[in-house]
Each structure stands twice: as C-alpha cells, then as structure tokens.
Amino acid sequence: MSFSIVVDHVSFGWPDGTSVLDGLDAAFPAGRTGLIGVNGSGKSTLLKIIAGELAPLSGSVSVVGEVGYLPQSVPLGASRTVSDLLEISGKRAALHAIEGGDVAEEHFTAVGDDWDVEERALAELDRLGLGHVG
C-alpha cells in the first residue's frame, strides 16, 4: 500500500514546555482519514503540522498531493461568508456586476478566466457534503 502522508518521528511542544507529540510515526493512505482521541491528545496539532501551519520540533512530514484541512474552529466574524473563506468574494461580486449590466473593465479583470467560479465552488462544497452552506 502506498501512503499519501507519512509522519516520521515527529515531536512538537508548546513554548511553555508542554510536550504534545513525542516521536510520532504514522502513515495515511489517499482519501479521507479521521482522527479520534481525547481532548488534548494532539489531534489538531498533528493536523496543523501536516497542513504546514505548524513546524515540528523534530522529525518530518512528507505529503504526496494536496492536503485539505478544515479547522475545528474557523474565525468567521460577523460579516465573513463562505465566499470569503474560499477567497472568491471579489470574483463573485464582479460576476454579479457584469450580469447586472455593469461592463467596467475592472470587473472583467477580476473575473479573469474564472467564469464558472460559482459552479466550481458549489460542486466542491457538494463533494465535501457541505452543499447546504453554499
């Protein structure tokens, strides 16, 4: 079996000296994988290391392909939308302006070649089982 993610002797600790991971070895095949464990066991920390958001103190992580990571808590704020999280708000606004008859060049520049950005975003949300938020 080939693995898409290999964690090799990874250790991590917080600046206050709290050790979270100590020499962890793991391998994950392609596809979806879930981590289960008690609170504080290092699940989120491991995912952040795999996603590149945190660097291990020692060891290494190798990834073949892309890693998708949805954090446990996403700081949305009162005015943030799914489009903001997907970083497509500007393109969507430009598309809607063009559809409404505003043919300013800046809108076409903002859209670029992404005329189907809304459809692709909705398809990806559906694929992830999150179509209801689109």
Residues 57 and 89 grouped into a single domain: no
How confident is the prediction along the chain (134 residues), in pLDDT tens digits per residue? 678 999 999 999 999 999 999 999 999 998 888 888 898 899 999 999 998 889 999 999 999 987 877 676 666 666 778 888 788 999 999 999 999 999 999 999 999 999 999 998 888 888 877 777 66
Tell which residue, 129, 125, 35, has the closest CA to residue 81: 125
Domain assignment present for residue 69? The answer is no
Residues 59 and 10 grouped into a single domain: yes
Angle 109-112-117 (CA atoms, 0-180°, nearest 5)? 125
- Domain with 105, as residue range(s), is 82-126
Residues 55 and 99 grouped into a single domain: no
| CA separation for the pair 100, 124 (Å, rounded) | 26
Domain assignment present for residue 51? The answer is yes
**For the chain, how many structural domains are there in total?**
2
Enter the pTM of the model. 0.57
